[in-house]
């Protein structure tokens, strides 16, 4: 899947936040979304590169991938299951 | 095979192995094993087992002495105090690891996160006085040397993590979310590709400096001090490579159900504890070494306060240090708040003589003999692990 062409239904800006806030906010935002919708998370915490993919595949959700943005943050995509 | 293809295949191998060791994250359980071995080495090498808060205390003492608050200067200079030295090592090890993986960057945080960092540091500094140690000295090491204060602090940390997580959930619902957004406009574009490429060389240079520092200490007749710096460096390197964070062992079972860190900490404690048992039972060192924690009241109450603080700050005593090593400015605030509070609160406690009322060191083998202490220790850790594994799927303890 080409991540750059994904049109997310919601974007969560977690830039500058460190563990555990990006995870908590991701979990909270996903709870408010409908099945099949896609959440994009913007983050700068290096720990998120392990945590968000692991968490994104839990509970029926699907982690679609991550891509580094040239401005120094990372974009993560999760499809709510 | 031609000369060129040999050169290129060697280059390829080096690149692959460099990435595996210095760039990709290590598994947490591996870091747990390394930590146990390194903690045992510190135990045998230095005068006291591994801790972190004592080093922060030393730094806080010096800052407050130089500011004119204290009349007497601290016993040890920061470059001779054992825990201060292993702390310097830990920080440098994390910095080296961050540089080698090209991850070092001055990381800013949203405004309100600095407020939480300050509050977290103050709470951890206070809790570490009451428990006579932080999550490392008061829990990890205390557990391993069969000081019952370690178990009391563990329950305190669990309760504190629960309360701290409750606060974080409240904050997401009730505080203006603008307080948690970083202003990215003022941000310059990435600091040039030159710096990115140069980072591993800076890391290698720093590594040589650490080795050089050990030889310098040895040359000056302070081999033990130099060794503590070096062992601290290895700990910091290992912790950063695996992003090993004690907070996760208490928080993640409540938050996502993830049990990997619980497994790693329990495994690490088993190795550390059995090693300590060998050292103590055979009288290689006095069995009461490291047994001085305030069982049970100080350890338990201190653990609760410390637990709330580590959730607010997003780092405990050890992970604060390694996160500062990768350029995290939020946890730099925590570090100073921790050091200053720990120093001043300890001075206050001494003045009003409250220490004796909090409990004293109780050595588990004195209470139930070595024959029972070792199986009880192992079974306790196994139960913790299995409950965490069971919770991974059932999510019985997940509160959110």
SS3 of residue A70 by DSSP: coil
User: Which pLDDT score, from 0 to 100, does residue B192 have?
Assistant: 62
User: Which pLDDT score, from 0 to 100, does residue B187 have?
Assistant: 52
User: Which pLDDT score, from 0 to 100, does residue A81 have?
Assistant: 87
User: Which pLDDT score, from 0 to 100, does residue B381 have?
Assistant: 98
How far is the alpha carbon of A1 from chain B, nearest alpha carbon, in Å?
Answer: 24
Is 3.30.110.40 the CATH classification of the domain at A3-79?
A: yes
Counting one residue from A and one from B, how many pairs have CB atoms under 8 Å apart?
Answer: 68
User: Which pLDDT score, from 0 to 100, does residue B355 have?
Assistant: 75
Contact B314 A46 (CB under 8 A): no
Residue A40 pLDDT exceeds 80: yes
ipTM of the modeled complex: 0.93
User: Which pLDDT score, from 0 to 100, does residue A4 have?
Assistant: 84
Residue A2 pLDDT exceeds 90: no
Cβ neighbours of A18 in B, within 8 Å:
107, 109, 113, 314, 323, 328, 330-331
User: Which pLDDT score, from 0 to 100, does residue B185 have?
Assistant: 55
User: Which pLDDT score, from 0 to 100, does residue B190 have?
Assistant: 53
Tokens 């990768």 found at: B326
Provide the mean pLDDT of chain A: 92
Q: Which of B364, B383, B360 is nearest to B374 (CA)?
A: B364
From B113, B311, B400, residue closest to A27, measured CB to CB = B400
Contact A18 B256 (CB under 8 A): no
User: Which pLDDT score, from 0 to 100, does residue B1 have?
Assistant: 53
How far is the alpha carbon of B268 from chain A, nearest alpha carbon, in Å?
Answer: 21
User: Which pLDDT score, from 0 to 100, does residue B93 have?
Assistant: 98
How far, in Å, CA of B142 to CA of B133, rounded? 9
Successive 10-residue mean pLDDT values, chain B, 400 residues? 82 92 94 98 92 96 95 92 96 97 93 97 97 96 96 97 96 90 62 80 97 97 96 98 96 94 98 96 89 92 98 96 96 98 94 83 95 97 97 90
User: Which pLDDT score, from 0 to 100, does residue B184 have?
Assistant: 65
What is the set of active-site residues of A? 19
């Amino acid at each position: 899947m080409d991540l750059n062409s994904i049109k997310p239904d919601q974007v969560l800006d977690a830039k500058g936040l460190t563990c555990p806030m990006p995870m908590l906010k991701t979990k909270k935002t996903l709870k408010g979304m409908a099945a099949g919708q896609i959440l994009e998370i913007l983050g700068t915490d290096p720990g998120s590169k392990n945590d968000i993919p692991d968490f994104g595949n839990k509970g029926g959700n699907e982690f679609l991938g991550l891509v580094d943005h040239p401005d120094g943050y990372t974009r993560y995509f999760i499809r709510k299951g | 095979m031609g000369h060129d293809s040999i050169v290129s295949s060697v280059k390829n191998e080096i690149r692959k192995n460099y990435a595996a060791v210095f760039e990709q994250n290590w598994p947490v359980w591996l870091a747990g094993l390394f930590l146990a071995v390194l903690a045992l080495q510190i135990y045998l090498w230095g005068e006291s087992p591994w801790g972190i808060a004592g080093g922060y205390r030393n730094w806080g003492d010096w800052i407050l002495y130089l500011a004119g608050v204290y009349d007497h200067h601290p016993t040890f200079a920061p470059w001779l105090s054992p825990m201060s030295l292993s702390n310097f090592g830990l920080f440098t090890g994390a910095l080296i690891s961050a540089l080698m993986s090209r991850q070092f960057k001055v990381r800013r945080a949203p405004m309100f996160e600095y407020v939480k960092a300050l509050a977290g540091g103050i709470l951890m500094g206070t809790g570490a006085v009451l428990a006579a140690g932080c999550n490392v000295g008061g829990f990890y090491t205390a557990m391993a040397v069969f000081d019952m204060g370690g178990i009391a602090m563990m329950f305190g940390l669990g309760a504190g993590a629960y309360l701290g997580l409750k606060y974080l959930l409240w904050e997401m619902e009730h505080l203006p979310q603008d307080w948690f957004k970083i202003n990215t406009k003022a941000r310059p574009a990435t600091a040039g590709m030159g710096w990115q490429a140069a980072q591993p060389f800076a890391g290698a240079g720093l590594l040589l400096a650490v080795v050089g520092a050990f030889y310098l200490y040895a040359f000056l007749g302070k081999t033990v001090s130099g060794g503590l710096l070096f062992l601290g460096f290895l700990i910091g390197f290992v912790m950063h490579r695996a992003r090993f964070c004690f907070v996760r062992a208490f928080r993640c079972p409540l938050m996502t159900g993830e049990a990997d860190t619980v497994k790693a900490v329990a495994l690490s404690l088993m190795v550390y504890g059995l090693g300590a048992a060998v050292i103590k039972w055979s009288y290689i060192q006095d069995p009461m070494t490291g047994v001085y924690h305030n069982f049970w009241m100080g350890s338990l109450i201190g653990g609760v306060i410390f637990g709330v603080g580590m959730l607010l700050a997003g780092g405990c005593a050890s992970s604060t240090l390694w996160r500062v090593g990768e350029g995290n400015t939020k946890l730099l605030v925590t570090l100073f708040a921790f050091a200053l509070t720990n120093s001043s609160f300890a001075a206050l406690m001494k003045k009003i003589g409250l220490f004796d009322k909090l409990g004293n060191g109780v050595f588990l083998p004195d209470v139930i003999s070595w024959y029972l202490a070792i199986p009880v220790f192992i079974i306790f850790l196994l139960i913790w692990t299995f409950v965490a594994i069971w919770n991974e799927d059932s999510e019985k303890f997940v509160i959110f």
